[in-house]
């Protein structure tokens, strides 16, 4: 009887904010990955284009969406700690895919993200997205892979993606990039997010990066 009372007392004294296993995994993953996610601001002729980027190499190489950069020359990268750096375009690829590489100074202890394998993804698996929607830096959202378009090479997800999220990572449960967030289905001109977002499969990105279709600047 005493043992039962002790167990009941212990359970009552446990904090109500204790995470379950899945929550703990997501919290830990975000803490690990977010320092490698940056915001990207490109000064274009009619204003500022805002997006997200992923640090993929400790030398300061950042992967992002080409449409975020546009024709901008003055590109500012903001780290998760708020530190700003001038970035230059490191590699532009041909117009078939919406990707570009940027370069910032190789500062100490740069965190990086790892590539996954988008050939192994399945409809229904859980995914995470980190980005800067509407300037809210370091925003984490969760969803599933809703559809895979093998013809257009696009991953469809219901994880919330909004303006400013372009160039950010779509991650699997291991924190590996399986796609680069690119666009949303937008029938009402950004009035609402209806849960249909698209990402470029990371294997497509890897093929372009390893191929000879790029121009180094």
Catalytic residues, by residue number, are 67, 98, 166
Within 10 A of 158 (CB to CB), how many other CB atoms are there?
18
Assign 3-class secondary structure to the chain: CHHHHHHHHHHHHCCCCCCCHHHHHHHHHHHHHHHHEEEEEEEECCEEEEEEEEEEECCCEEEECHHHHCCCCEEEEECCCCCEEEEEEEEEECCCCCCEEEECCCCCCCCCCEECCHHHCCCCCEEEEEECHHHCCCEEEEEEEEEEECCCCEEEECCCCCCCCCCCEEECCCCEEEEEEEEECCCCCCCCCCCCEEEEEHHHHHHHHHCCCEEEC
Q: 84-93 and 37-44: which strand pairing?
A: unpaired
């Amino acid at each position: 009887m005493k043992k039962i009372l002790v167990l009941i007392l212990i359970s009552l004294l446990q904090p109500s904010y204790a995470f379950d296993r899945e929550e703990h995994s997501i919290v830990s993953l975000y803490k690990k990955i977010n320092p490698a996610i940056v915001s990207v601001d490109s000064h274009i002729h009619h204003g500022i284009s805002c997006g997200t980027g992923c640090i993929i190499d400790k030398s300061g190489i950042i992967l992002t969406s080409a449409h975020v950069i546009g024709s901008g020359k003055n590109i500012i990268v903001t780290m998760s700690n708020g530190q700003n750096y001038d970035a230059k375009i490191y590699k532009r690829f041909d117009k078939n895919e919406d990707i570009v590489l940027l370069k910032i100074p190789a500062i100490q202890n740069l965190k990086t993200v790892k590539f996954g394998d988008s050939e192994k993804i399945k409809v229904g698996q859980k995914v995470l997205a980190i980005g800067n929607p509407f300037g809210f830096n370091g925003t984490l959202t969760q969803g599933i892979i809703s559809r895979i378009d093998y013809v257009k090479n696009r991953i469809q997800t219901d994880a919330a993606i909004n303006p400013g999220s372009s160039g950010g990572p779509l991650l699997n449960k291991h924190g590996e990039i399986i796609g680069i967030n690119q666009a949303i289905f937008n029938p009402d001109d950004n009035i609402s997010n209806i849960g249909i977002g698209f990402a470029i499969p990371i294997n497509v990105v890897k093929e372009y990066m390893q191929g000879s279709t790029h121009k180094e600047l």
